[in-house]
Amino acid sequence: MEARPPPERGSLKIILTSLSSVLTSLDCILSFHLRSSWFWLASSDITPAEEREGARCITACLSPLLRSGRVEAEMPPPRTGRGLLWLGLVLSSVCVALGSETQADSTTDGLNVLLIIVDDLRPSLGCYGDKLVRSPNIDQLASHSLLFQNAFAQQAVCAPSRVSFLTGRRPDTTRLYDFNSYWRVHAGNFSTIPQYFKENGYVTMSVGKVFHPGISSNHTDDSPYSWSFPPYHPSSEKYENTKTCRGPDGELHANLLCPVDVLDVPEGTLPDKQSTEQAIQLLEKMKTSASPFFLAVGYHKPHIPFRYPKEFQKLYPLENITLAPDPEVPDGLPPVAYNPWMDIRQREDVQALNISVPYGPIPVDFQKIRQSYFASVSYLDTQVGRLLSTLDDLQLANSTIIAFTSDHGWALGEHGEWAKYSNFDVATHVPLMFYVPGRTASLPEAGEKLFPYLDPFDSASELMEPGRQSMDLVELVSLFPTLAGLAGLQVPPRCPVPSFHVELCREGKNLLKHFRFRDLEEDPYLPGNPRELIAYSQYPRPADIPQWNSDKPSLKDIKIMGYSIRTIDYRYTVWVGFNPDEFLANFSDIHAGELYFVDSDPLQDHNMYNDSQGGDLFQLLMP
């Protein structure tokens, strides 16, 4: 299906819009147009320009209705001349009356999409209630968006998570649990979000870390399937893990904590700054494009190492940084559930601490790791602010959907852990928000800016509250159907079981129902029945006890899989035997279990599994 640009806003459309308040139902319109003074158009002389306007009215009206299944009959041959304009006027009136209902299933044709993916970002943001972190530009986006308070990734590690949500399939379908295979060869030739948009007339572009680089995206970021042009990667990426961090001894090191003077690093820049500059250039080019665009921008920070402009440390004086509220390994945590954060231990500044493996705690005075994480988030926020401000300057904010999320979270000392690689909320809980012009926020007026750049160093800036919020549990596999539906494309069907032979389908729920805002003006929290909702996550392990490859086992080494269920009331995880040759879990071979009641134990420190009949519970709730 060919995507079309949105209809022009001519004077005729302005007149029709002004009449929308009296055209409140289809029955009303059908009787109204017969007796209306509009009927004179059927016998009037129509200019070519007016005829084209009539055609645009018909196209703008019927396209979303046909796509949503509201108009099933075959369309008659197009009329010409004055009849065409008359028909366009009537159909436009129908659209006005049905607009709010139709938009619940589809939005105007040809909306652009800006997808922002952040690496290792947990919901440590002002818009998620964090009082310490300064993230004014992301908070501003949230104030114009629908924000999901309880969104979860399907696996808390980069490549599997990204392949999962970009294909709309769970890790057990992509069969990617590590970094070492390409799903099109290893599992099935599954379509991706950008591929689907590309096949529907969009120009699709990738900047920065969108797919995980390497074999997991065929060393090409899934080109040419997903992208209209070769993806862009910042030239300074190659310095991320090299000796570019100046230590107290004045020498350069490959450290975990790496605040830098940007002018002093190789190329005098950082990857996320380069990505923002490239994305801005692409937006400027697409401003005059006749085709809608899908632009994915992947930011590196706050992924380790914490390499960021050193001035951002000033936002977080060490005296204001507290430790995690639960910095100890919980007594009831089964060893298989613990991740020993080996990648952090390999950094030079952490190696110098001589911490015992696997449970040795990081010294309290080195837990300034939290300071650097938060500083990296604020640095990231400035890049998001620059990008969104440009979208405003180019007058694209009224025609572009913006989706913002992260591939997974990151532990900052909770449970004695300093990484992702687990099924805890701190590793799987992610920010997720959608800005939809005219739907989650009013269209900006001429000269109005929705996203002016906000300086995180400006102490006068006030914390912005999110716009709409949903408390329902949702999953990142819902990104595919939701973006397709918001852009007016047909939502891919649900996948059969199994679905390895099906190229286009999705395993996540369509979230479009959350964008129906009629009769909700008094309540910014969207109603629902959250106890019916479940989010699934999983994580592999090579052994029952922590070892050197527990965090990132290769497929051949996976012996145990931890399947986790998150509901509004609890998180339940069962660790079962797993055969990597057959990709099969043996649910009769239970190695350990976890059960946390999040209302009374929100930090998930008290494992109640041995006090429950957890095995029966899990069998009932498998997806």
Mean pLDDT of 11-17: 33
Instruction: Record the pTM.
Output: 0.82
Of 358-367, 452-461, 583-592, the one with minimum mean pLDDT is 452-461
Q: Model confidence over 82-116: pLDDT tens digits?
A: 333 333 433 343 343 333 333 334 334 589 999 99
pLDDT of 445 reads: 82
Query: Does the structure show a pLDDT above 50 at 79?
Result: no
Asked if residue 78 has a cis previous peptide bond (ω within 30° of 0), the answer is no
Mean pLDDT of 258-275: 97
Residue with tokens 């047909």: 490
Our CA angle for 462, 468, 474, nearest 5°, is: 120
Q: Model confidence over 178-236: pLDDT tens digits?
A: 999 999 999 999 999 999 999 999 999 999 999 999 999 999 999 999 999 999 999 99
Mean pLDDT of 18-45: 30
Query: Does the structure show a pLDDT above 80 at 528?
Result: no
Average pLDDT, the chain: 84
Q: Model confidence over 230-257: pLDDT tens digits?
A: 999 999 999 999 999 998 898 999 999 9
- Confidence label for 277 from pLDDT (cuts 50, 70 and 90): very high
pLDDT of 532 reads: 65
Query: Does the structure show a pLDDT above 80 at 70?
Result: no
Which residues carry out catalysis?
158, 212
- Residues 552 and 562: their CA atoms lie apart, in Å, by 14
- Residues 53 and 42: their CA atoms lie apart, in Å, by 15
- Confidence label for 30 from pLDDT (cuts 50, 70 and 90): very low
Q: Model confidence over 416-425: pLDDT tens digits?
A: 999 999 999 9
- Confidence label for 623 from pLDDT (cuts 50, 70 and 90): low
pLDDT of 59 reads: 41
pLDDT of 464 reads: 81
Q: CB of 71 within 8 A of CB of 34?
A: no
pLDDT of 520 reads: 43
Strands 203-208 and 468-475: unpaired
Mean pLDDT of 333-348: 97
Q: Model confidence over 544-588: pLDDT tens digits?
A: 999 999 999 999 999 999 999 999 999 999 999 999 999 999 999
Tokens representing 349 are 């500044």
Alpha helix positions (H), 107-157:
136-143
Query: Does the structure show a pLDDT above 80 at 526?
Result: no
| Max CA separation in the chain (angstroms) | 90
What stretch of H or E contains 474?
A: strand 468-475
Query: Does the structure show a pLDDT above 60 at 54?
Result: no
Mean pLDDT of 145-157: 97
Query: Does the structure show a pLDDT above 70 at 69?
Result: no
Mean pLDDT of 475-501: 97
Q: Which residues, in sequence order, are CB contacts of 115 under 8 Å at separation 6+?
A: 193, 210, 294, 295, 296, 297, 403, 483
pLDDT of 16 reads: 33
Query: Does the structure show a pLDDT above 50 at 66?
Result: no
